[in-house]
Amino acid sequence: MRQQVFNPYLPSWEYIPDGEPHVFGDRVYVYGSHDSFNAPIFCTGNYMCWSAPVDDLSDWRNEGVIFRKNQDPKNKLGLRLLFAPDVCQGPDGRYYLYYAFDFMGIMGVAVSNAPAGPYEFLGHVHYKDGTIWGRRKGDQFPFDPGVLADDDGRIWLYSGFYTPTPAIVTGFKKLKNDGGVVVELEQDMVTIKTEPKLLFPKEGPGSFPNHEFFEASSIRKDNGKYIFVYSSRHNHELCYAVSDKPNDGFVYGGTLVDQGDMFLNGNEDESKALNYLGNTHGGMLKIGDQWYIFYHRQTNRHSYSRQACAEKLVRNPDGSFQQAEVTSCGLNDGPLKAEGRYEARIACNLWSKNGVGRYDSSSPRKRLADHPYFTQTGKDREENGDQYIANMQDGAVAGFKYFQFDGPKKILVELGGTADGQMEVSDNPEFQNVTSIPVSLKGGIASFGSRLDVGAGVKPLYFRFVGTGAVDFHAFELQDFHIN
């Protein structure tokens, strides 16, 4: 890689959730929804695409807008919102973009001659008689498309949502929400060839106990095995199931990643999560023998300004995957260097003195007013804005994983706010080995420093504010320590 890469792996001003990564040619393309900073609802923007060379996942390029909301004839005014998309290359060599407008209950398709578009509207997924899927009584609710162009030429489209959607939202009554379904499409990529089949019931026989299907269908194929990724009813984890067939026989595999490292090392207590929880969505990527899982995190104390993250996956000899730990280094070639300046926005762990909370429940901003959170200066899309951790009150912790240390360092912390106390730094979340940095802030941003010795090797860093007031954590810097 030409440079180090962090989580989130896109620029600090970019808010791309629901990222689906695909390799086309010699580049990785990520297709996702498009949130805005401090937005009032999900997915306020048009579809963007970002890409990187397969041999350098630090070098992300903005491909720009690839499909606009008002290109669909059923959304000429652009009032409906583009939720999570997916893309495949069809048998004709063209690229097909599948999308659903928020809770409208229909699924659209756009087509392009190039992976990064621009895409042009093709049609709505429909039955052979022309009836749009989602407009027939008893249809399963079309939502969160995941699409696979199989190597035998067949096209499989996956969909599903857990929560029943009121008719007032869809404009159509009596749609089902039984779980995850699959349909086979004709070669025209928009006509349903086989009736929708329930593959992943959200409850009862055939469901996956404690990890039942919720949303976020995503499908991959590897060495004859179909790997289905989805978000469970917990809403903050991505799980997977495997089958020898695209439309039957899926067996639960486990958790791939969870925003708060829930289910890792047996932790099922949300009060002990290592980060704030909310919805997540993503997909798997394979480059050579290395697998990755892409997902998103929440910012700004709500679920409407989400950012793209990714982690490396470890695959066991039997083909199963180990759950990935949420980290700051993500796509990087190993741990980060224990030198240079790092923005606090790359923290992978964040909690208050009283633990964490969920961003997908009622009034999170008010309810979590005393908690730390990621935010930014300026307005949406200001490329020179400063993203940081705000409101670190007494006992709040920010954790970063991992760094390669070779010995003692000098550490500087860049802080803002109004506060008196100390910033404690440790290589463990229990703060058993602590470096204390005195802090006195009267507004503005200032730097404070100390010697840091956590030994040599791969280490995390945890920062805890102890004192009065509230600290805004902007950045920290690691320098070689020299005795004068």
Strand partners, 22: 29
Strand order in the sheet with 155-160: 146-149, 155-160, 179-185, 197-201
Q: Are 434 and 426 in contact (CB under 8 A)?
A: yes
CB-based burial label for 147 (10 Å; 0-12, 13-18, 19+): buried
Active site residue 360: no
What is the rounded CA–CA span in Å between residue 203 and residue 211?
10
Cis status of the peptide bond prior to 118, with omega within 30 of 0: yes
DSSP structure string for 190-202 = SBB-S--EEEEES
Closest CA to 127 of 119, 115, 118, 136: 136
Q: Which of 14, 18, 86, 178 is catalytic?
A: 18
Which residues neighbour 92 within 8 Å (Cβ) at sequence distance 6 or greater?
A: none
CB-based burial label for 9 (10 Å; 0-12, 13-18, 19+): buried
Q: Are 98 and 157 in contact (CB under 8 A)?
A: yes
CB-based burial label for 331 (10 Å; 0-12, 13-18, 19+): buried
Distance of CA 32 to the CA centre of its chain: 9
Provide the total of helices (H) and of strands (E) in the chain, helices listed first.
2, 28
Residue 254's φ and ψ, nearest 5 degrees, are: 145, -175
Q: Which of 72, 178, 215, 237 is catalytic?
A: 215
Q: Are 29 and 87 in contact (CB under 8 A)?
A: yes
What is the rounded CA–CA span in Å between residue 312 and residue 292?
4
Closest CA to 51 of 32, 36, 35, 73: 32
Active site residue 215: yes
What is the rounded CA–CA span in Å between residue 272 and residue 1?
35
Across 8-46, the runs of DSSP E, i.e. the strands, are: 20-24, 27-31
Angle, CA of 33, 153 and 74, to the nearest 5°? 40
DSSP structure string for 171-231 = SSS--B--EEEEEEEPTTSSBB-S--EEEEESSSTTS-TTS-EEEEEEEEEETTEEEEEEE
Write out the catalytic residue numbers: 18, 215
